[in-house]
Amino acid sequence: MKALTTAVFLVSAPAALLFAQGVAPVRLNLQEAAALALKNHPLVQAARDVFSAMTQRITEARAAYYPDFNADITGSQANPRARIGAGFLTTSSMFNRIGVGFSLNQMISDWGRTPNLVAEARLRTQATQQDYQATRDDVLLGVNRAYFLTLRAQALIKVARETVAARQLLVDQVTALARNNLRSQLDVSFVGVNLAQARLLLIQSQNEVQAAYAEMTRALGQEQPAAYELMEQPLPPSPPEDVERVVMVAVENRPELASLRLSLQAANRFEEAEKDLTRPSVSFNGVGGYIPYVNQITLPRVIPSEYEGVGVNVQIPLFNGHLFSARREEAHYRVLEADQRLRDRLEQVERDVRTAWASSFTAYQRLDVTAQFLREATLALNLAQGRYDLGLASIVELTQGQLNLTQAEIENLSAKYDYQIQYANLQYTIGALR
């Protein structure tokens, strides 16, 4: 009776724990979980904010096309008889005055530097958009993995509960037979060992369920822990036969590769922009305003109340301590760096695709093998039970049959969820997980 009470406690422990925590199970299917993660996960939100921030870089770069127009209000006090004597070549007179005016500066041409900077900003923004998509893919892969690990943990705890119940029943039967001297105490010891193993499996499976719930909460971007009631998903189709075709699809679709390609193009445009630094730049300048008060030394007033002026300036770089040449060389090496990073990532993607394809193919093959394992283990246990009831087999055969069946059930459900995880990983590596 004590053993039965212990088994019931172990079976009901997860439900009691959740009830004590006041956590209501969250019912989800895989599509709902993915949508919830994309909405709530902080990494997705951060990547979206980075992309939104990068879109402003285009406006910042294009600002050079527009005039720089400013209003000025100036009041000054000075010694009217003084002249500036140090620090400048000018010797302009200084007056007590108040004036208001406007200044205008408009770039006419910088011989291609601004268009290259605008193109670079646009390419960088597009690269950030691909980074945003890559972050979404990472989150979706985490959701798929956590989803199927949770289903596996829940299925495992169900197997553990059924195993405890079946072995507890056998213990009760063998114990009753031993009291009537129809079975030996050795038989009681063997079935007791099996029951203890089942209880350990149940305790371990309870821990895996709690860990899976924590992982699922993290994958969904949730802050509060929860229990989950997840819907079973149909098995995906078999992996593609041609791995080289899968690699080609990954090279075309992976957002990380698209981001690096765009970054390489942006680096090329910035190198061109840095080369344009050595070319002349032409700008238009204009000023105008009104001076309502000037404290002149002599009267009548000779300084007009209104003023205006315009000019065109051509700036020709001659020498600046090799600054522009160093910037051009730096930009060139940044291009080489971007090219090598793209090459490295391309090789890594090809390796990951081949590894994921092999893992998914192996996991797919395990499905039939574990199903056959389960059928054979079930048949073997039924035969062992019948032989034991007839006194034709020892308790060793029966307990070994129980152990084989439990292992077969675990392997079978593990193969199912492992293939779903491996298939999702394969879809991720080829950029098709959406």
State pLDDT tens for residues 296-355. 777 777 788 898 999 999 999 999 999 999 999 999 999 999 999 999 999 999 999 999
401-424 average pLDDT score: 96
Per-residue model confidence as pLDDT tens digits over 226-264: 999 999 999 999 999 999 999 999 999 999 999 999 999
Does 426 have pLDDT greater than 80? Answer: yes
The predicted model scores a pTM of: 0.87
User: Phi and psi at residue 335, in whole multiples of 5°?
Assistant: -65, -45
pLDDT for the residue numbered 416: 97
* CA 402/CA 400 separation, integer angstroms: 5
Q: How confident is the model at residue 23 (pLDDT cuts 50, 70, 90)?
A: low
Higher pLDDT, 78 or 373: 373
149-167 average pLDDT score: 95
* CA 23/CA 206 separation, integer angstroms: 16
Does 361 have pLDDT greater than 70? Answer: yes
Peptide bond preceding 280 in cis form (omega within 30 of 0): no
C-alpha angle with apex 413: 146 to 373, nearest 5 degrees?
155
120-133 average pLDDT score: 97
Per-residue model confidence as pLDDT tens digits over 186-196: 899 989 999 99
pLDDT for the residue numbered 183: 87
Does 89 have pLDDT greater than 70? Answer: no
In DSSP terms, 288 is beta-bridged to 102, 308
Whether the CB-CB separation of 429 and 352 falls below 8 Å is answered with: yes
Find all residues with CB under 8 Å of 167, minimum gap 6, and list them.
191, 194, 195, 198, 402
pLDDT for the residue numbered 301: 73
Q: How confident is the model at residue 138 (pLDDT cuts 50, 70, 90)?
A: very high
Per-residue model confidence as pLDDT tens digits over 292-309: 888 877 777 778 889 899
Of 20-34, 203-217, 396-410, give the lowest mean pLDDT range: 20-34
C-alpha dist (Å) from residue 369 to 133, 362, 403, 417: 38, 11, 18, 15
DSSP type of residue 22: T
pLDDT for the residue numbered 18: 46
Mean pLDDT, the chain, rounded, equals 90
H/E element holding 183? none
pLDDT for the residue numbered 78: 80
Q: How confident is the model at residue 88 (pLDDT cuts 50, 70, 90)?
A: low
Whether the CB-CB separation of 136 and 38 falls below 8 Å is answered with: yes
pLDDT for the residue numbered 17: 47
Does 16 have pLDDT greater than 70? Answer: no
Q: How confident is the model at residue 97 (pLDDT cuts 50, 70, 90)?
A: confident
Does 163 have pLDDT greater than 70? Answer: yes
417-431 average pLDDT score: 97
Share of the chain above pLDDT 90, in %: 78
Q: How confident is the model at residue 125 (pLDDT cuts 50, 70, 90)?
A: very high
pLDDT for the residue numbered 90: 63
* CA 25/CA 144 separation, integer angstroms: 19
Whether the CB-CB separation of 167 and 198 falls below 8 Å is answered with: yes
